[in-house]
Chain A
């Protein structure tokens, strides 16, 4: 951890900062931020946005429930997968409307972070 003094638009700002695994963590004026530094991680996060047809596991965890089967039609916002991570339940929603082309998990499966669980084919 480093203490830095910045000059920001004429104001002196004290920050605490540390780089951890390609992320810049910093704190100033009562708030903590996590800023993606490296290309690798920013590419990873933009990839998520580039593939709205994919539903990824946001966390390692267990699949509790699947709301649909392969071939089913879903609307954007439908809860397709319910998973449990760290004792809490999360609803994973379809980002686009379409049909379920790939269902890459089953109830009770352990899945890892960023694993593609579902692929949705956009309705044409």
Chain B
């Protein structure tokens, strides 16, 4: 039986999990680093245990520290959120060995999908489509070159042990193959200790479409329809939506059924996401994420489900109450990731104290946030400030609602990507829904071209500065406002 859940994460997802547990009558303990004591999750958790210094290696990625913290608090289960240890089989196993329920699939499942080659093999067995390629052991130049011409150009050379875009080369024509191969092998050897590569057809006009699946405690596997996340920058998703705007119903049914088959074949448990690339009417398996996804709220809003509660129920060995035939997407939902970065300076991260925050609430608007006023955004962690999620009856209305919501959102103290998001949302190719994963590279290669200040903006800034100064000297003797006492001029 679960009475207390440890949260091995931070930020908005920690808040999301704590609230879900509390609503289910469960106690929570936040396992946090020294740098995260001034955050929303720290304030709302029933209990907090510091597991290490700011550096993620010593805290959020430290398996033993997390286990020790959970045991010290007397927790029965650990929710890993996403990122950090959420897809670490060793962590899942350590939980099991310490009689802590890991909220997620088995360590074996995490391992199976974590290895790119075994995952592809499983998908093939389940009858799913994989990107044509070569993953064999014969790494001789002659063989690789032969395989490459069979796959056809353009193709990708990928270091088998690579990740995060390193050890990856796109080859557009045969003449470039030799040098690209050498450089991928060299980078693989230098960065990951292995020169082994595999080859894959390069899909350069594809959409990123993924299917949310859920396998409950009684072995029933549901699909919760698709999401589209084609708007990506440096392989990082920026805008996500449910459901995909351009997928026809037959294809939708087909990929959803394929995703269910893959989950069944692997003996999956809990929430998972099967990612596909979709190009010219064909879809190809990309990878399976064995955890809750950052963009899970868009699925929740179109289906009226709570994925985190479903995860907890599954950990409690209870079935969910859904019926597949009742799960029907309604309306349209969009999520924007709000990053602390300078939209006018190529997205350089921005840090500082959040002097003021305003989230413009209204029906169909959801704000998943990990910070409150006066909290500090530090450079230790990912620069995501919040997720802004909207729902409306149609996609055009959801886009309109998102633009309005972002314009009404106020963040003082760190710069944000709000102006950039508004440009992306307003672009004709996003509006008509035909964007591919090359959307940002094609239309926004240098970020925002616009200037931050117009002449009027500068004049207004000067007027405000003067007014604030005047107000300050005028109000000093009766009731000084809080900022006067904090920021008063010397």
Chain A residues within 8 Å of B, Cβ to Cβ: 1-2, 4, 6, 8, 13, 15-21, 24-28, 30-35, 37, 58-61, 85-90
Contact = CB atoms under 8 A, between A and B. Distances in A.
CB-based closest 4 A-B pairs: A30-B407, A25-B412, A35-B461, A1-B356
B142 to A, nearest CB: 32
B460 to A, nearest CB: 6
Contacts of A4: 464, 467-468
B73 to A, nearest CB: 28
Given A24-B468, A30-B408, A13 B383 contact: no
Nearest to B452: A33
A18 B457 contact: no
A59 B382 CA distance: 13
Interface of B: 234, 236, 345-349, 351-353, 355-356, 358, 379, 381-383, 407-408, 410-413, 415-416, 418-419, 452-453, 456-461, 463-465, 467-468, 471, 481, 483, 487
Given A17-B468, A20-B412, A30-B407, A86 B383 contact: yes
Nearest to B416: A32
Contacts of A2: 468, 471, 481, 483
12 contacts: A2-B471, A8-B463, A18-B356, A18-B483, A24-B468, A25-B355, A32-B416, A35-B461, A59-B379, A61-B379, A86-B379, A89-B234
Contacts of B381: 86-87
A20 B411 CA distance: 12
Given A2-B468, A30-B407, A33-B461, A88 B383 contact: yes
Nearest to A6: B463
Contact of B353 (A13, A20, A61, A88): A20
B378 to A, nearest CB: 9
Contacts of A28: 460
Q: Choose among A16, A18, A89 the residue with the greatest number of B CB atoms under 10 Å from its CB.
A: A18
A8 B348 contact: no
Contacts of A60: 379
A34 B383 contact: no
A6 B352 contact: no
Given A2-B481, A8-B459, A16 B382 contact: no
Nearest to B465: A24
